Structures are given as C-alpha cells and as structure tokens.
C-alpha cells in the first residue's frame, strides 16, 4: 500500500463574486445544453436519415452509439484531464471538438461520415460533462447551493434534449437533414467565444496523473459490450464475433478493476463504491438512462414507421419525456433542499416505470392525445429522478471529490444511454420479425403477398415495412396494417423492459440510498470518514491508497 500523498494547493480559490459565480453556472449549463442538443434530435430524424442514406437498423443504432460510446469511454479520463491541466482549457477543448463533429456531420454523404462526426461530438461531450459539474462544484462548495445549481444543470441537459427534436423537425421539413447539426454548431461557437473571456481557470486541490492503462481497458470493455449487443441482434447471439465481443468485454472489465485497484492514481477509485449512496446512484443512473434513451429510440421509430409522422411531429410527441425536466427543474431543486433527495428519486422512478409500462396500451392507431398522456407520465417521473441521482452522487463524497463523483456518475449515464438503443434496437428487429408472419396470416393477404412482405422486411430491414407497395391499394393497406401490428408488439416488449428496468432502479435506490432526510453535514461527514482513515496525516484523494 502506498503512502498517503499530501494534497496540493488549489490553483485558485472558489470565486466569491456573485456575478462571476452566476456566469460560471450559466456557462456550465450552456456547455451541457449544447452537447445534448443533437442527441434526441438525431434520434427523431433517424427515419428520414434511413431513407436518405439507405441505412439498415444496425446502421441507425451505430449513428446513435457513435456519439454515446466515446462519451462513456472517455468521461473519467476527461475529468482527470480537467483536474490536471485546467477545467477551463478542457471545457474549451470539449466545445471545439463538439463543433468539429457537427461540421463533419453537416457535410456528410454517408453513414460512415455521420458516425465519424458523431464520434467527435461524443469526445467533446466527454470533456464537457465532468468539467461543467466540476466548475459548478468549484464555485458552489455549499451543499444546498450546489444542489440548486445541479438542478439547473440537469434542466439545461433536459432543455437540449427537448429543443433538439423541435429544431430538427422544422429543419427537416424545409431543408436537408444535414442541417439539423447547424443550431448546435452555431450555439457552440458562440459559447466558446464567451467562455474564453469569462471563465477563470481552476484545477483540483490534489495531485493527479493520467491513468493510460485504465483508460484503454475502459474503452475495450465498453466497446466490446455495446458491439456485442448491436451485432448479436443481426448476426445471432451464438455468432463467433458476438461471443468474442462479450468475452473481450468481460475480460476488459475484470482487468480494469484489477488495474484500478493497484494503480497509485486510478481513473476510477474503486473505494468510491464503498459509499452505498454513491454506488446506488451510479447503478440507478445506468438503469434509468438505459430505459429513457432506449424508449426514446423505440418510440421515435414507432411514430415514424407506424404512424408515418414527420420529424416535427415526432419531436412534438416526445417533447414531454425531457420537457418536464426543464419545467420542473427549479421546483425539484427547491424540494431537494427541504426533503430527502432519495424520496424524490424513488418517487420519480416509480412514476416513470408506470409511465413506461403504460406504453403497452399503444396500438397501431393510437391517437396523439392518448400517446401524449402516457409520455407525460413517463416525463414527470424522469424529471423527478434525474436531478436527485446526480446530486446524491456528488454529495455522497467530500467536496474535493465532487468532480470525480460527477465524472463517474456521467460515465454510468452514458453506458446506460449506449446500451438503451442497442438493446431496444435488437428487440424491435427480432420481435417484429417473429410476429410479422402471424399477423400477415390473419390479414387476408394471399400466400404470395405474405411471402413478398415477409421476405422484404426480413432481408432489407424492418424499416422497409413502412414503405410497402403491393399490386392493389387494398393489399397494400392490409400489409401495412399487419406490419403496424407487428411493430407495435415489439414496442410493447420494449416498454416492458424499460418499465421493469425503472422499477428495479427504484428498488435499488430504496435499498442502497433510502428515503430518510439527512443533513448535508452528516452526509459529508460520512463521506469524509470514507476517505480519511484513522491516523491519517492528510486527506486521501481519489487515486491515493492508504
């Protein structure tokens, strides 16, 4: 066991001027807002992109995961880079990379180039998420003020997720899908310029070093897992490349844990998970984002392929999933200072789980009003849950480890977000193909027409079912009705998985976090005890093993 390293002095004390504190919080919120602006916006534009780029279901999943994978894999390292070299520099670099990715997508003429651009924006987002939380923690050392600032940060994230589909709907209706990346590019460039002059530099109060082995193993484990899930739906779960991918992921994860336990300055200090509140928040975050992003992906496909809704209409129908996070954000921030964040979290997860399960009420011709009501219930649950998860993770550790807690929490957020579209995409494909023959048999179509439809959807992709054209209008209508019923069956399976996932997260939160009100002083004291072993002569920072 290595000796305890003394904490190094901070490069700059927290700014005391209220104007500068406000400006820092606003810029941190702008950073997370712009980074999440294209996320759901790209998802609702997938049906249009599929036609324009002739993309398969797997290609569409990779367009989504090309953003999420580098975000999840690089979050912890980017948080460490910010602590080591400066949070302002990392924030500016993240926004610059994000803008570069938007520019690449803006000029894309194929799936591969879109994925490359999405990867650049993912790397930029990986730099922005932990850095923006660290900037907030630096200027808001008080737990209550930090909780309110994090609620604003969460609301900004939700605002990006909410406005993205609406912006993209207007853009796709009038110009090419490529221009959906323009608003994020323009706002990002303006934010970079303002931040370069307004933000002040800060670094961690402790000495840190880059953990290259840990970073490489994290990339291997995360990429192997997501690749295996995506390819397993098409190639089969027993395919050699899929089995190898899962083996690589398992070995990579085991090696990552062993390396981090032995490292003098780990990227992710495993002792953080000795805090039940931190462990619970991390697991709940992964499960919640898995369900949320996966359901957004599935519902976007459902509205686009079954209802033939435009990108704008899809955005409007899904606005409540993230819109309530914006509307209720200030209220949730105040409630967290007056009641237990754990109670809000469990309540939100239960409400969200019920909302997800209610998607099972949808059928191929579900009206907009009925769909909006169910989606609103899901949105309210998510709004009540997201801010408390982040606050619990950050406040469960000492102030000096807030950046590390935020980065680890965001990493689990992105891993869940990556697995959501991957798993739900596989469910949509397999379940639709499994149930389509039965619905076709009951449709009244001739055997020849049934074989034609089944063969087209099986070989071209499930998106082809939305554009069926048989010899007569009557036959086409019956074929599309059978396809719509099959796709809705697949959506019901996705809703079941998502709803159960959120209810399981509620149980995890109840057991590991609890719902009792605890003062910030008691929570902080427990966290300090975790990182201040008896007899220590100085603080033990993340990455320092006593």
- Please name each of the domains of the chain with its CATH number: 18-197+265-437+485-531 (1.20.1250.20)
Confidence at residue 530, expressed as pLDDT on a 0 to 100 scale? 41
Tokens 């069956």, located at residue: 489
| pLDDT string in tens for the chain (546-residue length) | 333 223 333 445 555 567 778 888 899 889 888 887 877 667 667 777 877 887 776 677 778 778 877 877 787 778 778 878 888 999 999 999 999 999 999 998 888 999 999 999 989 988 888 888 888 877 877 767 777 787 788 778 778 877 887 887 788 878 888 888 998 999 999 999 999 998 888 776 666 677 788 888 888 888 888 778 777 766 777 888 889 999 999 999 999 989 988 888 777 777 777 778 888 888 898 899 889 888 988 898 898 888 888 777 887 888 878 778 777 777 887 787 788 888 889 999 999 999 999 999 998 888 888 888 999 999 999 888 887 887 787 676 665 565 566 667 667 777 777 778 778 888 988 899 899 999 999 988 888 888 888 888 887 677 777 778 888 889 888 988 999 999 999 999 999 999 999 999 999 999 988 876 444 434 444 344 343 333 333 332 222 222
> 520-525 long-range CB contacts below 8 Å, 24 or more apart?
520/143, 520/144, 520/395, 523/143, 523/277, 523/395, 523/396, 524/143, 524/395, 524/398, 524/399
Residues across the chain: 546
How many helices (H) and strands (E) would you count in the chain?
18, 0
Per residue, the 3-state secondary structure of 131-162, as one string, reads: HHHHHHHHHCCCHHHHHHHHHHHHHHHHHHHH
The pTM assigned to this predicted structure is 0.72
SS (H, E, C) 476-522: HHHHHHHHHHHHHHHHHHHHHHHHHHHHHHHHHHHHHCCCCCCCHHH
Provide the pLDDT for residue 392.
81
φ, ψ dihedrals at 539, nearest 5°: -70, 145
The confidence score (pLDDT) of residue 65 equals 75
């Amino acid at each position: 066991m290595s000796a305890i390293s003394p904490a190094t002095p901070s490069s700059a004390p927290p700014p005391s001027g209220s104007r500068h504190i406000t400006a820092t919080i606003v810029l941190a919120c702008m950073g997370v807002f712009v980074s999440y602006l294209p996320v759901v916006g790209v998802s609702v534009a997938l049906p249009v992109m599929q036609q324009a780029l002739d993309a398969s279901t797997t290609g569409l999943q990779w367009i989504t995961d090309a953003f999420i994978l580098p975000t999840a894999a690089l979050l912890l390292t980017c948080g460490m880079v910010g602590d080591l070299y400066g949070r302002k520099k990392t924030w500016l670099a993240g926004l610059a990379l994000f803008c570069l990715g938007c520019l690449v997508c803006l000029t894309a003429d194929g799936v591969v180039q879109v994925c490359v651009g999405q990867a650049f924006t993912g790397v930029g987002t990986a730099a922005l998420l932990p850095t923006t939380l660290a900037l907030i923690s630096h200027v808001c050392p008080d737990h209550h003020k930090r909780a309110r600032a994090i609620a604003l940060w969460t609301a900004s994230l939700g605002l990006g997720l909410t406005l993205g589909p609406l912006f993209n709907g207007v853009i796709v209706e009038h110009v090419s899908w490529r221009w959906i990346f323009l608003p994020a590019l323009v706002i990002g460039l303006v934010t970079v310029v303002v931040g370069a002059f307004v933000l002040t530099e800060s670094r961690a109060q402790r000495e840190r070093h880059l953990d290259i082995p840990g970073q490489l193993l994290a990339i291997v484990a995360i990429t192997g897992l997501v690749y295996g899930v995506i390819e397993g739906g098409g190639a089969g779960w027993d395919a050699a490349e899929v089995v190898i991918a899962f083996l690589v992921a398992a070995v990579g994860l085991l090696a990552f844990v062993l390396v981090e336990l032995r490292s003098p300055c780990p990227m992710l200090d495993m002792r953080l998970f000795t805090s039940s509140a931190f462990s619970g928040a991390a697991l709940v975050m992964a499960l919640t984002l898995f369900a949320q992003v996966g359901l957004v992906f599935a519902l976007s496909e459902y509205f686009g392929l079954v209802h033939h809704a435009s990108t704008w209409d899809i955005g409007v129908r899904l606005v409540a999933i993230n819109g309530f996070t914006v509307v209720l954000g200030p209220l949730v921030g105040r409630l967290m200072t007056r009641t237990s964040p754990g109670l809000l979290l469990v309540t939100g997860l239960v409400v969200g789980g019920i909302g997800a399960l209610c998607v099972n009420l949808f059928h191929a011709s579900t009206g907009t009003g009925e769909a909006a009501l169910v989606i609103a219930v899901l949105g309210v649950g998510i709004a009540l849950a997201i801010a408390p998860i982040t606050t619990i993770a950050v406040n469960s550790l000492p102030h000096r480890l807030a950046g590390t807690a935020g980065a680890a929490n965001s990493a689990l957020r992105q891993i869940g977000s990556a697995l959501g579209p991957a798993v739900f995409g596989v469910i949509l494909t397999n379940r639709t193909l499994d149930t389509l023959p039965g619905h076709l048999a009951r449709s009244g179509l001739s055997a020849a027409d049934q074989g034609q439809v089944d063969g087209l959807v099986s070989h071209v992709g499930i998106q082809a079912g939305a554009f069926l054209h048989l010899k007569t209008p009557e036959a086409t209508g019956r074929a599309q009705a059978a396809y719509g019923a099959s796709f809705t069956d697949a959506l019901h399976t996705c809703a079941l998985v998502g709803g159960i996932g959120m209810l399981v997260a509620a149980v995890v939160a109840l057991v590991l976090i609890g719902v009792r009100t605890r003062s910030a002083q008691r929570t902080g004291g427990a966290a300090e005890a975790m990182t201040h072993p008896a007899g220590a002569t100085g603080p033990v920072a993340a990455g320092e093993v006593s």
